[in-house]
Structure 1
Amino acid sequence: MDQLTRTRIPTPFSVGSVNCYQLTGNGVTVVDPGPATDEAYEVVADSLATDGYEIAEIDRILITHPHMDHFGQASRLVEASGADVVAHEHAVDRLADPIAHFKREQAYFRPFLRSMGMPTDAVDTVLELPEPYTEYQAPVTVTDPVADGDTVDAGVTLECVSTPGHVPGSVSFLAAAEDAMFTGDHVLPDITPNPLLTVAPDATDERTRSLPAYIEALETVLELEATVGYGGHGEPMSDLHGRVRETIDHHEERKEHVAELVADAEPVTAYAIMKEMFPELPATEMFSGMSEVIGHLDLLADEDRVRITERDGVDHYELLEPTDG
């Protein structure tokens, strides 16, 4: 794609660097500017300078999803440039007040994780661990909320494709004329994005069913004309549809593995399955592990393959026998 620069921005997170994309066909467009660190700011400034631009010349910032490694320093760039901010309409509130969103998640998931069989001390640890990382983000006002099918002129027309699952408010940007798509963390070349549990948009007492939504959004990508994928991490993907199919197949295999674990130990809690699947998982990764397991249990529930029963406030899962016809 002409007038496209990919800049790898260091992050303090285990995922490593995040990809920031700069398009200069219609002013300066920045996609996912990275976390709120001085290093990230300097890297973006240096990258723009290489192309002959300054931060003050940024016209618009596109945010693929509301995770701090992708949007964290957007507000600082806006202060220096007056740039417009484009994000999915379901990400607007979270971007405007990420700390309030984090506190809503803590309040919701404390009883929910206990209902999934996680011990209280583990729940407290899991929900308090992310607190130090909140410094790598700052609230940002979305000036241009978008929905599925909206377009952005970045020198090339970018069609907004709603791709929830990894997080509500995830949006990919399809450059149909270039046979390419900016996928954020929806599709990545080397890892499968975790369908993270969170509170549903515009709700405080309802969780997302993240993995079913994610699979549906992956299937949407297969219907689009895009060969090349520019993900939020890693190298560009030369066969986007092939990578999407690999990701779907991975979750199908993981779902069947979870079904086997339920059958071997039923009735069983989601926490017990998580400990069986990931016995060495550190506390810092347990929320992701629970999201993974619960997501696959959601898929099995959608297929009417598990029964959920409550015992002393804790949900237990049993595998249902297949029926003929």
Structure 2
Amino acid sequence: MNLPIAIALPTPFLIGPVNSWLLPGEEPALVDAGPRTDAAWEALIAGLAAQDLTPRDLRHIFITHAHVDHYGNARRLAEAAPDATLYAPDIAHARPMLLDLEEEWERQYTFTRRALLASGLPPHLAELSRSRMADMRSYGDAVPVTRWLQSGEYLTLGDGTVWQVVALPGHSMTQVGLHQTEHNLFIAADHLLPHVSSNALLEPPTPGEQRRPRALPRYVEMLRWTAGLPIQQVFPGHGEPFTDQRPLIMRRLQGIEERAALIHTALLERPRSVLALVEHLFPKLRPEEIFLAISEIVGHLDVLEARQQVAFRGETVREYFVLLQEEEGKTIMATIDESFRQDLVQHPKQSYRVIVRTASEAALVAEHCAHQGMTIHHQYRLLPGLALTATGEALLALAAHPAVTHIEPDQMMSV
């Protein structure tokens, strides 16, 4: 079979050039189209010409994920390639993003602004996310998709080679790659990059869901899955092709562990907001990197939270603190603010986090609940107090207990 051929396209972004992968043969295919800029378009035309092709010769165009550096020029390319089928993933929020729907961009902005405010960013800086997103949107265009794809489907591309579509959530929850199982080739999009780690970006909940995706924990899962694949060569979204993905994956996983440890150590010193952690770990950060840095910190906090090592308090600005596990094998759950007390009557099955001043007082609270015929599910030692988890029925009694210091809402579903 013919190996994919890289056509490097310039981008205006910090990541640098993006790869458009040409699969040559009787049914020429192109994977990703670059951003909507004249420079990227000219580079694409030149790259095709170097293989004695024009856009009109293409029969397949494949978009890996809903980031403008990968799909921005897809519409222009489709118009120049009238006989090509344009494929795109129909997972997460890919469809409304690729169709450039106004309500999806507004949903993205609303979520991003709320996430930035919760991180501790001042309102006037959080508002800048609208202009940032408008600038990002200018590098894309509505993609005239002719076939929406699900993970697991097979496509015959280029010289008749069969490729399997594989979901690669993490960097983007919309991301897919192509796996050629006979020759063990892997078009990885931004899942595996040889020269830089892939940011697992903050994203709003998938349409129809309430809780935002935990992108970095999901990315860790997918890295481990990818490490088990028999891959001979990887063709990344940025950078040069490489062989043997396992050493790179081990380095990426080690990097995630090291950064999580740094964050945990910083929180052992004192509770901190996401922004305070950003300033602690990235003291020389440039303004245009703030969203990437906040995504990076939140992702690692998600990893630590999934391990029950940290929790947060506060809603307007979240402050994270360390949890010291009291009992093995327990999990911490959600929270609710006292201002939502009436909602508890209507939603008695929801779980809430309750902050207690000291471990000794926690025993009194647990005894109080037992006397009331209610259950405290889990408990974790905090610095300096203790957190309990209980269902709504228990909370009504707990809220009045003198040892309870704090009950707050679970906005994790949306931020």
Q: TM-score, normalised by structure 2?
A: 0.74
Q: How big is the shift at 1:226?
A: 1.0
Q: How big is the shift at 1:73?
A: 0.4
Mapping for residues 95-114 of structure 1, pairs under 5 Å: 95-97=98-100, 100-114=103-117
Aligned to 1:16: 16
Residues 1:84 and 2:85 aligned together: yes
SS of structure 1 residue aligned to 2:284: coil
Mapping for residues 50-129 of structure 1, pairs under 5 Å: 50-82=50-82, 83-90=84-91, 91-97=94-100, 100-129=103-132
Q: How big is the shift at 1:206?
A: 4.2
Q: Which amino acid aligns with 2:229?
A: L
Mapping for residues 259-274 of structure 1, pairs under 5 Å: 259-266=264-271, 268-274=272-278
1:258 and 1:87 map into 2 onto residues whose CA distance is 37
Asked whether the 8 Å contact 1:262–1:318 carries over to 2, the reply is: yes
Q: How big is the shift at 1:158?
A: 1.0
1:133 and 1:50 map into 2 onto residues whose CA distance is 30
1:3 and 1:163 map into 2 onto residues whose CA distance is 21
Greater CA drift, 76-85 or 36-45: 36-45
Mapping for residues 28-47 of structure 1, pairs under 5 Å: 28-47=28-47
Q: Which amino acid aligns with 2:198?
A: P
Residues 1:283 and 2:287 aligned together: yes
Q: How big is the shift at 1:204?
A: 8.1
Q: How big is the shift at 1:322?
A: 3.8
Aligned to 2:231: 226
2:267 and 2:301 map into 1 onto residues whose CA distance is 9
Asked whether the 8 Å contact 2:62–2:86 carries over to 1, the reply is: yes
Q: Deviations over 1:14-39 (max 9, x none)?
A: 21111111012341100111111222
2:101 and 2:140 map into 1 onto residues whose CA distance is 8
Residues 1:246 and 2:246 aligned together: no
Q: How big is the shift at 1:300?
A: 0.7
Mapping for residues 78-227 of structure 1, pairs under 5 Å: 78-82=78-82, 83-90=84-91, 91-97=94-100, 100-154=103-157, 155-203=160-208, 206-227=211-232
Q: Which amino acid aligns with 2:323?
A: L
Q: How big is the shift at 1:3?
A: 5.0
The structure that has the greater radius of gyration is 2
Q: Which amino acid aligns with 2:312?
A: I
Greater CA drift, 302-311 or 181-190: 302-311
Q: Give aligned pairs, total.
A: 323
Q: How big is the shift at 1:113?
A: 2.1
1:110 and 1:80 map into 2 onto residues whose CA distance is 37
Q: How big is the shift at 1:9?
A: 0.8
Greater CA drift, 25-34 or 283-292: 25-34
**Between the two proteins, what is the percent identity of the paired residues?**
29
Q: How big is the shift at 1:98?
A: 5.7
SS of structure 2 residue aligned to 1:129: helix
Q: How big is the shift at 1:57?
A: 1.4
Q: Deviations over 1:55-86 (max 9, x none)?
A: 11111111111111111101111111122111
Asked whether the 8 Å contact 1:126–1:284 carries over to 2, the reply is: no
SS of structure 1 residue aligned to 2:173: coil
Q: Which amino acid aligns with 1:69?
A: D
Q: How big is the shift at 1:99?
A: 5.1
Q: Deviations over 1:82-104 (max 9, x none)?
A: 22111211222210116543321
Greater CA drift, 131-140 or 92-101: 92-101
Q: Which amino acid aligns with 1:291?
A: S
SS of structure 2 residue aligned to 1:177: coil
Q: Deviations over 1:195-233 (max 9, x none)?
A: 100112215864321111111111221222213111011
SS of structure 2 residue aligned to 1:307: strand
SS of structure 1 residue aligned to 2:324: coil
Greater CA drift, 194-203 or 251-260: 194-203
Q: Which amino acid aligns with 1:14?
A: L
Aligned-pair Cα RMSD in Å: 1.8
2:263 and 2:102 map into 1 onto residues whose CA distance is 33
**Please, which runs of 5 or more residues in structure 2 have no aligned partner?**
329-415
2:211 and 2:121 map into 1 onto residues whose CA distance is 19
SS of structure 1 residue aligned to 2:163: strand
Asked whether the 8 Å contact 2:109–2:129 carries over to 1, the reply is: no
Asked whether the 8 Å contact 2:185–2:233 carries over to 1, the reply is: yes
Asked whether the 8 Å contact 2:308–2:325 carries over to 1, the reply is: no
1:128 and 1:260 map into 2 onto residues whose CA distance is 35
Q: TM-score, normalised by structure 1?
A: 0.94
1:3 and 1:255 map into 2 onto residues whose CA distance is 38
1:177 and 1:97 map into 2 onto residues whose CA distance is 36
SS of structure 1 residue aligned to 2:321: strand
1:171 and 1:159 map into 2 onto residues whose CA distance is 10
Aligned to 1:292: 296
- Higher relative contact order (Cα pairs below 8 Å, separated by 6+ residues): 1
Asked whether the 8 Å contact 1:110–1:123 carries over to 2, the reply is: yes
SS of structure 1 residue aligned to 2:251: helix
Asked whether the 8 Å contact 2:29–2:60 carries over to 1, the reply is: yes
Asked whether the 8 Å contact 1:165–1:211 carries over to 2, the reply is: yes
